[in-house]
Structure 1
Amino acid sequence: MSKVRVAVIGCGSISKYRHIPEYAAHADVELVAFVDPIIERAEEYAAKHGGKAFSDYETMLAEVKPDAVSVCTPNAFHAPMSIAAANAGAHVLVEKPMAATDAEAEAMIQAAKSNGVNLMVGHNQRFMPPHVKAKQILESGILGKVLTFRTSFGHPGPDAWSIDGASSWFFRKDEAIMGAMGDLGVHKSDLIRWLLNDEVAEIAALVGTLDKKGTAVDDNASCVLRMESGVIGTLVASWTYYRGEDNSTILWCENGVMKIGTHPDDQVIVELRNGSVEKHKVGAISTNDKQESSGVVDAFLTSILTKSTPAVSGEDGRKSLKVILCAFESQATGQFIKVNN
């Protein structure tokens, strides 16, 4: 088969550290276009990897007709760009959160279906070796039933990560729509759904802006979740962990506890009630300071090359987004919100 012709829309940090190098490393890919309103950013990648630079995606889609696109733009643009790409016949890998609203997510799924293309959402937590190992251990049955959990994702915020620093779109509500919950919380809602093979039934949340200056988007959230199986737990997202970045999950089960990402070397630790302890060195969870291969691009390309359903489908992305949207509704109303009303 000829190479998959890929265009990258949005040339900020997520493209720089993840999408572009992972496509460039893949033998079955030809990078054919880069799009950014700051055309110099697109031109820099075109000069390095080949392909053409564009300042707007509609011109690119019409002119280049790529086989696949990565949508790596501010959250507000995910849906219109993904739908346009699908309508142009391109497979779509969209960064998380996949959309700003549930209706947008549904429209994206429909656009992909009606055009016969794949839609995948960039939830990379599922592909990280500690989480893959943790799911295998859960499925082995050694821990018995999961009873409670806590899952947390906190770092100093996008001011350190984004290509534009403190003036980043992440802090502009009209472009970002949501803050730490859209950036980090949605990763954890996706992870817990996948790890437990379960859906969130209801959520209560406190979401606010505690320390980031000059922004209307949230920088912290603490949520209580009840899963459809009855399991209860907490989900935390923060942009104000100025020391001690945290991307960890602990599952308390009938037969013991599993700690994921709590130790720098032993990424998965299983402590059973009988006193036995297993420690697994399986590779790190990616952090902003230390980038690991995300696995997302490879999985997306596999779905195209094998004509299979993407590992994180549009439906998955929609369910993970819905949890976060319901957290905002809980904050606004002071109520527990049923997620799948």
Structure 2
Amino acid sequence: MSDPLRVVVAGAGRFGELHVRAWQEAGARVVGVVDVDAGRAEAVARRWGVARYGTGLSAVRSAEGVDVVVVASDESSHSALTDGAIDAGCDVFVEKPFALSAAAAERTAAAARAAGREIVVGHISRFAQPYRYLRSALHDGMLGTLWATRLHRDFSRSWFADFGDRVHPVWESCIHDIDLAVFFHAEPAARVFATESRAAGDAAPSVISAIVEFASGATSTIQSAWTVPLRGPQSLAGLLALDGTIDGEAQLIGSLGTARQRLIGDALTVWTDDASLTPDLSLWPEEDGRVGGALRAEIAYASAVFRRERANSIMPVDQAVWGVAIAEAVVASSATGEPVSL
């Protein structure tokens, strides 16, 4: 058996800590945890038996080396941490978004290619079974030629109040469905038109609607809104449960048929101030005492890519760059009211 991958996790929040556990359970050696909050990095490291911790990557490098840096920090730090890891000779798993501008994404991707390093971007939906099935149905010819996709995702209003203005919501929420559009269409966009509303508050746009035209002429309609009322059903279960709702739908429209996936699949759901529960168990459920679902599949895939046991074909970095370019165009178009050509 080959030696375990030596991993440093950058970001010690809830999701960063989940990564520490999941990578350990996948057989990696997590050799360091870093965070801008030194106390938080120390607490996570001690809980999971990690020897080194600090506030920067240089603080946890060791004589034995580091193979992989997992970037699970706030969105604005992703490019700098990824670039630093590439410069240090490491492969990188970086949570979405890959970067906050197309120029930064292209620069990082080029640097990785030049250095012979691999980047896997953590667009977890690509590893969730419903979306994998939709893509397989499309590739197997069941739906014929893909004409259009419709994607929407609604979040709890309370989450918008908590962190909706941390970064433009396109990078926090809409990026999931932008990536799914790229995943299904598998081509760069040619033009984007978008609008926005600040219905839920003045801090940032809370409703974003976009039409993406791809190079082939196929289109994707994408909407992201932070509008689900108080006590909507709790939909995020598993090891990282959040008290709130993500209600989404993906529809593929082809020349031979259509296919649809709903995150909340009840035929009739009534949302009031009394609690209801419709959990999605595809992302990171606990299975036999281990992190399971799409997160486990994603980490297993990334590990094989970093070991050079398989090509980076499910989440190629060029497609991550296309997604960043679309997201950037959505932000620009929604601000100006004008379409953006790519």
Q: Which TM-score tier does this pair reach, normalised by the shorter chain?
A: 0.7 to 0.9
Q: Secondary structure at the match of 1:155?
A: strand
Q: Distance in 2 between matches of 1:31 and 1:61?
A: 12
CA RMSD after TM alignment: 2.7
Could you say which residue in structure 2 is the equivalent of 1:321? 324
Q: Secondary structure at the match of 2:199?
A: coil
Contact 1:127 / 1:296 at 8 angstroms: preserved in 2? yes
Contact 1:202 / 1:336 at 8 angstroms: preserved in 2? yes
Of 83-92 and 256-265, more deviation after overlay is shown by 256-265
Could you tell me how far 1:151 is from its partner in structure 2? 0.5
Could you say which residue in structure 2 is the equivalent of 1:60? 60
TM-score (norm 2): 0.81
Q: Percent of counterpart pairs with the same letter?
A: 21
Determine if the alignment matches structure 1 residue 196 to structure 2 residue 198. Answer: no
Could you tell me how far 1:122 is from its partner in structure 2? 0.8
Determine if the alignment matches structure 1 residue 96 to structure 2 residue 96. Answer: yes
Contact 1:61 / 1:88 at 8 angstroms: preserved in 2? no
Could you tell me how far 1:61 is from its partner in structure 2? 4.0
Could you say which residue in structure 1 is the equivalent of 2:14? 13
Q: Deviation string for 1:165-196 (max 9, x for gaps)?
A: 82x5x633xxx3x22x1122112111112123
- Where do residues 131-280 of structure 1 align in structure 2 (5 Å cutoff)? 131-156=131-156, 159=159, 166=162, 168=163, 171-172=165-166, 176=167, 178-179=168-169, 181-212=170-201, 215=203, 217-242=204-229, 243=232, 245-261=246-262, 264=265
- One of 332, 335, 339 as aligned partner of 1:336: 339
Could you say which residue in structure 2 is the equivalent of 1:22? 22
Q: Which runs of 5+ in 2 are unaligned?
A: 233-244, 268-279, 286-290
Q: Distance in 2 between matches of 1:3 and 1:218?
A: 44
Q: Deviation string for 1:56-90 (max 9, x for gaps)?
A: 23333477741101111112111111111111111
Q: Distance in 2 between matches of 1:236 and 1:304?
A: 34
Q: Secondary structure at the match of 2:60?
A: helix
Could you tell me how far 1:300 is from its partner in structure 2? 1.1
Q: Distance in 1 between matches of 2:172 and 2:303?
A: 24
Q: Deviation string for 1:63-119 (max 9, x for gaps)?
A: 774110111111211111111111111111111111111121122112222322111
Could you tell me how far 1:287 is from its partner in structure 2? 8.5
Could you say if the C-alpha distance between residues 81 and 254 of structure 1 is closer, same or farther in structure 2, counting changes exceeding 3 Å?
Answer: same
Could you say if the C-alpha distance between residues 287 and 91 of structure 1 is closer, same or farther in structure 2, counting changes exceeding 3 Å?
Answer: closer
